[in-house]
Amino acid sequence: MNNMNLNEYQTLALRTASPKEKKNELFHLLLGLCGEAGEIAEKAKKIVRDHDSDFSQFDTADLTKELGDVLWHVAVIANYFDIELESVGDTNIKKLASRLERGVLGGSGDNR
């Protein structure tokens, strides 16, 4: 599946998601997102520990799968609130472009 847009991905991802109405589903999804991101961080930690932070040692095929798991959770959580995944991406790019324009990419805080 080449050249898939984010909304197409979201639609396909939802085929494997539980219904929104399932008890505690949002909580389950949020914990899943944290867990999947944590798996990536854990692999990075081992590269720091075992390979002197040489991230060229990252197994990119494995990383691709883990990032896909993160993306799946983001897509399903966005749908939980009726947000299209392309809107998430577009909003983020506009936010970052504004920060770049204003010279505030560095620093902290959402409203800079």
* Distance from chain centroid for Cα 19: 20
pLDDT at 106 over 90: no
- In total, the chain counts a number of residues equal to 112
pTM assigned to the model: 0.87
Helix intervals (H) in 19-84: 25-51, 60-80
- The pLDDT tens digits of the residues spanning 39-60 come to 999 999 999 999 999 999 999 9
Rounded-to-5 percentages of helix, strand, coil across the chain: 70, 0, 30
Q: Where are the domains of the chain?
A: 6-100
Per-residue pLDDT band for 111 (boundaries 50, 70, 90) equals: low
Contacts of 15 (CB under 8 A, 6+ apart): none
Q: Which two tokens stand for residue 91?
A: 């909003």
CATH class for domain 6-100?
Answer: mainly alpha
Least confident range from 2-11, 24-33, 41-50, 94-103: namely: 94-103
Q: Name which residue leads in pLDDT, 101 or 27.
A: 27
The pLDDT assigned to 112 comes to 56
